[in-house]
């Protein structure tokens, strides 16, 4: 039975066309997937269903849910639809949740506002819904705040909030992009179970074709505000007709062209590193307890080498990167860069700090939005031994921008004027502007769509060959790690539990934890992919 019918949907914002003649149907209990590049109109379509469009928007067409055209409803009438008939899960749970409200109160708030329940009734149902998403009260108190739980647990709270009133259709907008593969697999399995048991429909938006292959019954491919191809998932993968669909598939499995790298002597040495954090005591005289984040980790990176670091959230990857950068002190062990010991804090000499730079996952969050690109990229210049004049700084910034595929005129723009992929290029330009020897890439391509990700991987490969860079590539995307690294470290519970050449780790893993990580990583079934389409690419 058809639950949702969208026909002739057109959206313009300040007379700029955003969506054009979008048409699709979603049946009861069906998982309908949307894929496409950033800016293709996926999220705007979802927001149109909820009537949460930005100011200046003009919406025409029909959105029929249970016989009602949502476009004809007033804002007051839509308030009774949101939450009760349509629920929504957003990409980043930490920004979707209120940091000063407990998780129980946030789920209850939906029931009070949209369901008309009393506070005591709402809290009882909130506990039931949290238990429904595998957060029972005997393990997770409803009085916890969002910052006190992990990313995967926060996403479970968002799901509990979205299903509190048992909506007929649930919209999930990139709900697993920031999660590691194990947590992602758990969230995807949970969503499929909820769809089956609650007989909900699910509108699933993602740029990951492997996730779509696992989740969706039917898929629509969007490009520049239009649906260019729509078919059942299996048929779409087996017989892609549109060139854009084929381009997306190629980009999702893209492997940068391997170029000869100059391998040098060991540049970074990490020896028996130990890092622990004090835990707060409940009583003054209690014995001090510690959370051990890194337990005797040792490895090295050679000049010109790419080393991958993988593991679940909380395994110690980011803590390890901070110790290498000298931002976190060590209790035991030693880290040397180019033969010089790394000492945390302000004691580290500029000559050593300039040898290492970092590119973060969220480029927008790592920039000051009030400054122009020229000033943002020039930030590392204070590490140079010789100060540069204003004209010299501008010249080097422009050179760095050109090197990452941007234009000279971009130097005078603000960061909000760029797309996500362009912002990541600017972040890379800032890291490269003082010519470092080691670049730590902390989930640097996780939030990018597949086409932009392929471009950034090509760029990183070119820069590595050109400057003989060493990379420490931290990522939960195992497909990317396989494509760009020479060796891989697998981390669990603060320890390196397996290491070796990338092809050996992925093809012949020895440790059970590594096998579970690879098993949890979503993949496109090999039988869905034509042999000629799959040549040169990995399907998992």
| In-domain check, residue 312 | yes
Structure token digits, residue 81: 């639809």
Residue 360 vs residues 196, 440, 443, 445, 473: alpha-carbon distances, Å: 37, 8, 6, 9, 11
| In-domain check, residue 484 | yes
Q: What is the pLDDT of residues 431-472, one digit of tens each?
A: 999 999 999 998 888 777 788 888 888 888 888 988 899 999
DSSP assigned state of 137: T
CA distance 346 to 358: 17
pLDDT band at 534; cut points 50, 70, 90? very low
H-type helices in 144-276, by residue range? 151-162, 181-198, 209-215, 233-238, 243-252
3-state secondary structure string, 89-120? ECCCHHHHCCCCCCHHHHHHHHHHHHHCCCHH
Instruction: Say what the pLDDT of residue 208 is.
Output: 85
| In-domain check, residue 417 | yes
Residue carrying the six token digits 């931290």: 474
Mean pLDDT computed over 176-181: 79
Q: What is the pLDDT of residues 233-263, one digit of tens each?
A: 999 999 999 999 999 888 887 777 765 565 6
Instruction: Say what the pLDDT of residue 228 is.
Output: 96
| In-domain check, residue 450 | yes
Q: What is the CATH number of the domain that holds 409?
A: 3.40.50.300
Q: What is the pLDDT of residues 186-239, one digit of tens each?
A: 889 999 998 998 889 999 998 888 899 999 999 999 999 999 999 999 999 999
Instruction: Say what the pLDDT of residue 171 is.
Output: 95
Structure token digits, residue 448: 């990018």
CA distance 409 to 379: 19
Instruction: Say what the pLDDT of residue 204 is.
Output: 95
Residue 279 contacts residue 289 (beta carbons within 8 Å) = yes
| In-domain check, residue 311 | yes
Domain count, the chain: 1
What is the end-to-end Cα distance of the chain in Å, rounded?
34
| In-domain check, residue 451 | yes
Number of residues that make up the chain: 540
pLDDT band at 499; cut points 50, 70, 90? very high
Residue 162 contacts residue 187 (beta carbons within 8 Å) = no
The percentage of the chain sitting over the pLDDT mark of 90, rounded to a whole number, equals 55
Mean pLDDT computed over 144-152: 85
CA triple 61-62-67, angle to 5 deg: 165
| In-domain check, residue 293 | no
> Quick check: 538 pLDDT over 70?
no
**C-alpha count within 13 angstroms, C-beta hemisphere, residue 342:** 29
Mean pLDDT computed over 73-87: 90
| In-domain check, residue 519 | yes
pLDDT band at 532; cut points 50, 70, 90? very low
Instruction: Say what the pLDDT of residue 8 is.
Output: 96
**Domain ranges, residue 460:** 303-328+347-534
């Amino acid at each position: 039975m058809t639950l949702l019918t969208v026909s002739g949907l057109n959206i313009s914002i300040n007379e700029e066309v955003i969506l054009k003649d979008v048409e699709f149907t979603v049946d009861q209990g069906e998982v309908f997937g949307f894929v496409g590049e950033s800016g293709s109109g996926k999220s705007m379509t979802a927001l149109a269903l909820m009537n949460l469009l930005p100011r200046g928007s003009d919406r025409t067409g029909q959105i029929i849910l249970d016989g009602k055209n949502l476009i004809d409803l007033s804002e007051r009438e839509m308030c009774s639809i949101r939450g009760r008939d349509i629920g929504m899960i957003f990409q980043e749970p930490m920004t979707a949740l209120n940091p000063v409200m407990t998780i129980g109160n946030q789920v209850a708030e939906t029931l009070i506002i949209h369901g008309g329940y009393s506070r005591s009734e709402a809290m009882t149902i909130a506990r039931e819904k949290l238990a429904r998403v595998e957060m029972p009260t005997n393990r997770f108190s409803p009085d916890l705040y969002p910052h006190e739980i992990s990313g995967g647990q926060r996403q479970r709270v968002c799901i509990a909030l979205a299903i509190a009133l048992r909506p007929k259709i649930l919209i999930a907008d990139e709900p697993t992009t920031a999660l590691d593969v194990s947590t992602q697999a758990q969230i995807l399995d949970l969503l499929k179970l909820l769809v089956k048991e609650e007989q909900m429909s699910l509108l699933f938006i993602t740029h990951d074709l492997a996730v779509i292959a696992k989740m969706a019954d039917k898929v629509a491919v969007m490009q520049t505000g239009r649906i260019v191809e729509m078919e059942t998932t299996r048929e779409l993968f087996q017989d892609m007709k549109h060139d854009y669909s084929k381009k997306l598939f190629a980009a999702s499995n893209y492997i940068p062209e391997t170029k000869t790298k100059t391998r040098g002597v060991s540049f970074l040495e990490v020896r028996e590193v130990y890092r622990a954090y004090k835990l707060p005591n409940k009583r003054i005289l209690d014995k001090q307890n510690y959370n051990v984040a890194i337990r005797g980790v040792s490895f090295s990176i050679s000049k010109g080498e790419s080393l991958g670091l993988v593991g679940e959230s909380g395994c110690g990857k980011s803590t390890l990167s901070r110790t290498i950068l000298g931002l976190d002190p060590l209790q035991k062990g030693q880290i040397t860069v180019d033969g010089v010991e790394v000492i945390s804090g302000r004691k580290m000499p500029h000559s050593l700090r300039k040898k290492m730079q970092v590119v973060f996952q969220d480029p927008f969050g790592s920039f000051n939005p009030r400054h122009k690109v020229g000033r943002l990229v020039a930030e590392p210049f204070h590490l140079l031994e010789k100060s540069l004049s204003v004209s010299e700084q501008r010249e080097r910034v422009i050179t760095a921008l050109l090197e990452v595929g941007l234009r000279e005129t971009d130097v005078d723009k603000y960061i909000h004027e760029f797309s996500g992929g362009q912002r990541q290029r600017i972040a890379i330009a800032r890291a490269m502007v003082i010519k470092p020897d080691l670049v730590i890439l902390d989930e640097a391509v996780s939030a990018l769509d597949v086409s932009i990700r392929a471009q950034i991987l090509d760029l990183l490969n070119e820069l590595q060959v050109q400057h003989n860079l060493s990379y420490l590539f931290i990522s939960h995307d195992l497909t990317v790690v396989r494509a760009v690294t020479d060796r891989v470290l697998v981390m669990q519970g603060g320890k390196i539990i397996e290491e070796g050449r990338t092809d050996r780790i992925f093809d012949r893993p020895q440790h059970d934890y590594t096998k579970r990580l690879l098993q949890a990583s979503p993949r496109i079934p090999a039988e869905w992919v034509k042999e000629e389409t799959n040549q040169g690419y990995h399907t998992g």
